[in-house]
Amino acid sequence: MQDTPALPNVTLELAVNRFADPDMAYRLLIETHRGLSDEASADLNARLVLILANQIGDLEILRQALALAGRAVRKPPATACRAATKSPSAERVSDDRR
């Protein structure tokens, strides 16, 4: 295995929007998913992540991006949100099954 050259210390930069038209970039992502099942949409996302990770080509930037995305997904919901999502009808269905 070849040694890879040391990369300069880089940091993921989120304050700068690199798209000339960020709204169009968002629309492209949304339109690509339109009409797909949840499973097909998840497959598309997985393929897109692999394609873009390859384009990045920098393990440190990839690590930072994965950590940032992981923190956003793993953030625990607020207590008020949990209480609001627990409906009386859901409790009745649960009680009826006992």
pLDDT for the residue 14: 79
Residue numbers in the chain where pLDDT is lower than 70: 1-10, 77-98
pLDDT in tens, 63-89: 999 998 888 888 776 655 554 444 444
56 Cβ partners below 8 Å, 6+ apart? 62, 65
Domain ranges of the chain: 22-96
* C-alpha pair distances (Å), 27 with each of 9, 31, 33, 36, 64: 33, 6, 10, 15, 25
The answer to whether 41 and 33 have CB atoms below 8 angstroms apart is: yes
pLDDT for the residue 95: 45
